[in-house]
Structure 1
Amino acid sequence: MINLLAADDVKAMARRLRTALAADGTTISHSAALELTARQLGARDWNTLVGSLPDAARTDRRKPKPGDPVDAVPIIRIFDVDQAYAFYCDYLGFGRDWEHRFEDHRPMYAQVSRGDVRLHLSEHHGDGSPGIGVLLTTLDVRALHDELQSKDYPLNPAIESEERGLTLAVIDPFHNRLVFHQPVDQPARVDTVAAPWRHRLRVSCSPPVAFEIFTLRMGEWWGPGYNAHPEAYTGVRLEPRVGGAVVFTFDRYPDQSWGRVAAWDPPRVYAQDFWLAQDPDYPSRLTVTFTDDADGTVVDFEHGGWVPGNAAWRNKFAEWPIILRKYIRFADQPA
C-alpha cells in the first residue's frame, strides 16, 4: 500500500486525522499527526515512512519547474462597474485591490480578491464575452453559504452535494457563473467553539490615519513584547495587499511570520489571518473596522475564528487591551 502513496497523500491523511481528533476535543500538532499516520501505515516514524516512498512519490508535486505557470487570474467581462462591485464586493465579500482606466469615462479594468483568489473585472470588449465559468476551490462551502444567506440578495444559491464534493454556484449580473467547490476529501465544516475577543476603541485621528497607523505603522506602537526575540525587535513589516505577509523583524534573527493579510480595504476594513502563539495550520482571524465619528474614529476590533483546532490558545489573548492601549496612545498623539 505504501508504494501506492505519495507524500502529499500521507499529509492529507494526517490532516484528516488531526481534524477528527480536534472535533472530539483532542488537539495535536501537525508533526504529531504525521507521526501517528506513519505508524498507522506500519512505519517506525515519519522520516522512515518518507524514506520508503518511491522517489517520484516523494517529489513535491506542487513545486513548479522552470517554465511552468505558477498562478492564474480569470478575466471576467462586465458591463457596469457599480453592479460588478455590488455583486463581487458587497455580496461575495471580495475586496477592491485596484482599478485602472486609460482616461476618464473609458472602460475600467480592476482587480478584486478574497483570501488567495484574485479576479480581474474588465469592461474592455477585447477581453472576452460574458457567460464564462470560474471554479473556485473553497475551504468551507457551508460557511460561505451562511454568509451569503445573511445578505439581502434576490438569488441566494443552494448547496449541491456531488460525487466530487460540495458546490455552490452563483451567477453575476453579466451571466458569468462562479462555482465555489469544497473537494470531497477536504475536512468537513468545523463550527466555532468560542466567542471572539471584541473591543471598541476611539481615537482622535481620521479613519485614513487610524487605518494607516494600525497597519503600515504597526511596528511603531506594537512594542517589543509578544514575539520570539523581544530584545532584538526592530518592528513589523506588513505587505499592504490581500495575501501579504505580516512579520516581526529583528536586528540579528530571521523574520518571524505571524500573519497574512486577509482583507485590505483602506480606510474601512483590515483583516488578518493570525497565528502568533498558535499553530499556523489553524490560524485565528483579526478583523478591524474603522468608522468616521464626530470626534475622530471608532475602531472595532475582533479576534475570532476559534475552532477546535485553535481554541486551546484563545485565553492567551486576554491581554489585547494592553496592546490596544498602546495603539490608542500612539494614534492620539498630536500630528
Structure 2
Amino acid sequence: MHKIGILGAGLISRSHAESIRSLDNAVLTAVADIREEAGQRFADEYGCAYYQDADELLKQADVEVVIIALPTFLHGKYVELCAQYGKHVLCEKPVEMTVEATQRMLDQVKEAGIIFMVGQVVRFWSGYTEIKELYESGELGQVHMAFASRCSTLPDWGNEWLLHPEKGAGAICDMHVHDVDFLRDLFGEIDSVYCLANKDHTGCWNHAMSSISFKSGEKAVAEAAFTMSDGYPFTMFFKAAGTKGTVEFTYKAGYNIGERDASTSELRLYQKNRQPVIRKLEQHDPYANQLRYFLSCVDAGEQPARVPHQENLEVIRAIAAIRESAETGEILTLTS
C-alpha cells in the first residue's frame, strides 16, 4: 500500500485526493497547507492528518510518495525538500517557471535517486490517448496540420498567484503547457515557435495562439485562453488532418476542470472511402490513470518512460520561447 501525502489543499489537490481514493493500492495519509482553515477542512474531508508546515509533514507523517499541488513558483523549493527526505514525487504542471529552475530540479532528483514525474495529465486523458494511438498506428498518415485549443473564463477560485506575470504567468503557462506537451509527445522534438498573444489587465498573456514546427516536419497551432465570457464552459479541442485520416476531439466540462461529472466528450475519425466513426468517450478519471502509472514506476524503481524528464525540460524551453515570441513578435528556434 502506497502511503501518499499532498502538499497544497487547493482545487487541483481534490482531483489528486479523489484519484488516491479510487485506487486499491494507495492511501492518503497527510496533507500540508499554510492556510490552516483550508488545510484542516481538506484533511477532515479525506480522513488524513493535517500539517501546516510541509517540512513537518515530511518529518513526521507516514508517507512514501508526495504529490506537489502548490503554486508553480514553489515547485522547485518543495521538490528539493522532498528529495532531501527521499520521498518519490509527482509534481503538478508546469514543473517550473524557467528552464534553469527546471534543470536544477531535475539535477536534484537525479542526485537523490527518487522517482519523479510531472503531472502532464493530458497524456492519460481519454480522447488524447486515442489520438496518440491513431497517430502511432499510422491510421492518420503524415499529419499536415494539427490544432489544439484549451479555453476557459478567467479563474477566480483563489489562485491569485496564477495571474501574476512571474509566479504563474496566466494562460500562456498554466493552460498552454498541456497542449505543447501533448504535441511534443505526439510529434517529437520542437524546432521553432511563433506566438501571437493578448496581454490583459493582469499583465499576463491570457490569450495566446502559437504556431509550432517540429523537427519531424509536422506543424501545429495551439491556443490557450482565460478570456472567455461568463458561462463559457472549460473546453478542450484537438484536430489533426493527415494523409490517411482526420481526427477531431471535443471536450466540455463545467466552469473549471474540476467540474468533470457533467462533461461531454466526443471523438470523430474521418477516412477515405469509409463512414465517419463517432465515439462518445467514457471519461475514466485521468488523474487516477496518471497516479496508477506513477505508482507502477515507483514499484519498478524506474523513472517514468511515458513522461520523460528530458521532455519536461524541452516543454518548459518551448513555453519560455513562446513567451519571448509573444513579447518580441519573432519566430524563435529552440536550442537544446
TM-score clears 0.5: no
When Rg is computed on C-alpha atoms for both structures, the one with the higher figure is: 1
The alignment's TM-score, normalised by the length of structure 1, stands at 0.29
The alignment's TM-score, normalised by the length of structure 2, stands at 0.29
Between 1 and 2, higher relative CO (CA 8 Å, sep ≥ 6) is seen in: 2
